[in-house]
Structure formats: structure tokens, C-alpha cells
Amino acid sequence: MTLPQRLPIESETTLRIASPFDGRSIGDVPLASPSDVAAAVIRAKAAASAFRGSTPAERRALLHRLADAVAGDAATLAGLISGEVGKTIREARNEVRRAGNTLRLSGDAGTFLDGEVLHCGIVEGGADKLARITWEPVGVVGAVTPFNYPLNLLCHKLGPAIAAGNAVVAKPSPKAPLAAHRLAELAIAAGWPKDLFQVVHGGAEAAIALARAPIDLLSFTGGPAGGLALKNACGLVRCLMELGGNDPLFVLPDADLDRAVATTIGHRFEIAGQSCAAVKKLYLHEDIAEAFLDRLVPAVAAHRTGDPTDEATDMGPVIDHAAAEEVERRIAATIAGGARLLAGGTRVDTLVAPTILADVAVDAPVIADETFGPVIAMRRFADVGAAIAEVNAGAWGLQAGVFTNDHAAIKRFSRDLVVGGVMINEGPDFRAEHVPFGGVKGSGLGREGVRVALREMSETKVVID
């Protein structure tokens, strides 16, 4: 489908996007200068002012039309995502499906952005007064998104922002900007008001320019260093930040081991291990550790890597050579520190073999910090309290998974883990689009998830009469 080219930015400088798998050209986008970014925000201000008085029904209609357009353009979008990220075509199709669902749920949720009425009779002089509390748009939302989910994570910012009555200026990762660019074109084709949703392209300079522009809220997904730089740049502007995680999966003696193995593989090797909430640390109770590994090792060996466009491929490459080299370095240093290599440990260009490292030290490179790559790092434990304390001692706190049917253990993990979400008999990477998602400590500020993000992207107004 040929769409009208959007993006008022006309630049002689373009960014060429190449496949991380084989280097072939996927497309290019115009690079925005800091002045281009500032101009886009000024246009968004005008669009937000005009859109402020829209009704929930009108906002829902816009988001549903865009969701329909995404569904109609699914093959093209999936091809772009697979090409620019190296995500398998099956993973890319699933992302497109989820992105449409995020937009549709946002439109629906916007019709229930309810306020409340409180009686003021608890204070002197308030006997005949009522406080009416409503939610109003913040104005312009600046959205900075990462490479790993270039479409759905953008929709997690765009959908609630529009449903709340805001305008959006998005700056996608320069490693994977094509799906975002396509989404902006689809919005125009779906009849969205001019400048309500704009996309600007570039690297750190463009992101800082967006943060320094007169936006009213910044929503960022990425690493902690980038998040801190943007937070410092935007001053007192409200920030929502998802900054990653170093997430554990605990497997207890009563767990369904086959299901836990399948979840470990699915939640660690998706996008070649480049998901914020992936299983970064696998904690096996000593009573079932060997039985679990007896199942895990052959299953990992059967995981097919290669061309992400091939329907038979289970896992594609990491995003670039620098990322592959960093994963390789961490694996080698962890083995040198005494860990046992049970599978993988090799790479060819950007294809890192699915890897299992057993009996990994708590300060080993693969788990001391978040590792964006297909590495399962296993630790044994005997005492639940000690294992929880070990996780809580880390700098991250996004999500955790626990495989057990022991009610007392479930209550303990749910109460004591210092994380944003605890998934029972699931991996930490599980997420539903309408449920709050985010972390504590170094993992971020605020929450995403359609329902909670609507209020995060709104201002509270109180009228008393």
C-alpha cells in the first residue's frame, strides 16, 4: 500500500537502515536537526490546543481507525520490523498484532477516564460545597522509544496519549526507525489531524533536543544512562521512564518443570534476548536443578537460529556487531570466573548462539548488570529468603517470575520481592497491554500499561462550588 509521505521535515541528510542479519539495506529516514525537533514540538502545541476539546468518542474513533490501518498493513509492518531489528518474522507479526491491540484498548480506555465528586463538608465552611475532580490533557507528549519493540512500545505511548487528548512527538531509536515512520504515515492515511502525531529521527542529539523543547511530559524507554541524561535535560517536566531490568525466574521443587523450561526458553531467547523483562537470571532450587537442566539443555540445542525472514527460524541476530561482541565478552569473562558452559557460547557475526551458563557467580558479568543477549545464567538456591535477598540487593527491580504452586511461597515472593511485578507460573517477560508495567529502583519511574498511562498523561483539575 502506497501512503502519503508525512513528516514535514525535509532533510538532505538521511539515516540508512541495514539488516543486522546480513547488512542488506532496509530503508532510510530523514535526520532531524535540533531546530527541526523544536519546530515539530511547536506544531504539536498548536495541534494539542485544537485537540484538547475533543470528546472521548472522537479520540476512540481515531485510535480504532489507526488500529484498523495497522491490521491492514500488517505484512509490510512485520517485514520492516523483522528487517530493521532482526526479529524473526513470527515475532514481528506478533508485535504488529499487539500494537493494534494496544491502540484499540487505548481508545476504549479513554472513554472511562472518569473523575469523581467529593463532599467538602469535613472542613469548616464546606457543608454546601462539592469538589468535582476531572482529568485534562497535559499537552504535548515527547516519546523516545528503543529498538527492540519499535512498533508496540511506540503504541504504548501514542495510544494513551491520544486517548487522554494530547499530541505526540516521537523519536524512535536510530537503530530501528522504519516501523515508527510507517505508523506516522498510516495515521495520516487514517485521517488523523495534522501534526497531532509526528515522528522525528536521529540519535542522542535529537532526543536531547526533544527533552529541551517545550513538551509537557516525556515518556522514555531505554537505558538508565540515556534516561538520566534526558531527565536532566527536561528539568521539571514530568517523566515516565522504563529503564530496563535484570529479571529473575525462580523454579521451586513443586514446579511443572516442562512448562518452566518452555517459559525459560521463550522468555530469554525472544528477540535474541533483547527484552527488558527477559529471564536474565535463572534461580533453580537445588532439589530440582539437575532435572531441570536435563530438560533445558537439549531444548536449547534444538532452538533454531538464522535468517529472521525464514519461517523456521526461532531466533535471529542481536541488533549489531557491537552488541554481539559485548555479549561474547561477558560470556567469556563469566566462564573465566568459574561458570560452566552447558550450551552455546559462540557467535558468528551478529548471531550469538543460545547459551546456558550454570553455577554463575553472583558478581559475574552476565548477571551483575543487564545483558541484552541470548544467555541463560543459572544459580542454585536452597533458601528462598536468601535468594530473594540476593535479587533485592541488585540495582534493578522490573519484574520477576516464580514457578510454584505452594501458596505460602507465592505469598512470600509476592510480598518480599522488590520489583514492579511478580508473575506466578509465568516468566518475568509476561505483559498484558492494559496492566501496569514498570519497575522500581533503577528500572524506572512511573508505569506504562494503557489504563494507568492514561492518568499518567493527564493533569488533575479540581473545581469546588
Write b or e for each residue in 327-341: b if 16 or more Cβ atoms lie within 10 A of its Cβ, otherwise e. Answer: bbebbeebbeeebee
Dihedral of alpha carbons 225, 227, 233, 235, sign? negative
d(CA 359, CA 395): 21
4: cell is 502519503
d(CA 145, CA 374): 22
Instruction: Specify whether the CB–CB gap between 419 and 401 falls below 8 A.
Output: no
* DSSP class of 16: E
d(CA 401, CA 278): 10
DSSP letter for each residue of 288-323: THHHHHHHHHHHHHT--BS-TTSTT-SB---SSHHH
d(CA 171, CA 221): 11
How are beta strands 375-381 and 355-358 bridged, if at all?
parallel
Please indicate whether residue 136 is annotated as part of the active site. no
Instruction: Specify whether the CB–CB gap between 439 and 398 falls below 8 A.
Output: yes
d(CA 82, CA 322): 19
Can you give the length of the chain in residues?
Answer: 465
Burial of 370 per CB tally in 10 Å (0-12, 13-18, 19+): buried
Candidate list 276, 328, 370, 426, residue with the active-site label: 276
Which residues, listed in sequence order, are joined to residue 284 by a DSSP beta bridge?
251, 380
- Cβ neighbours of 366 (radius 10 Å): 26
CA angle 169–171–175, rounded 5-degree value = 160
d(CA 340, CA 333): 12
> Measured between alpha carbons, how far is residue 444 from residues 162, 364, 405, 414, 429 in Å?
23, 23, 30, 19, 16
CA 456 centroid distance within chain: 17
Please indicate whether residue 239 is annotated as part of the active site. no
Candidate list 91, 95, 185, 242, residue with the active-site label: 242
Helix or strand holding residue 260 (H, E): helix 257-269
Residues belonging to the active site: 242, 276
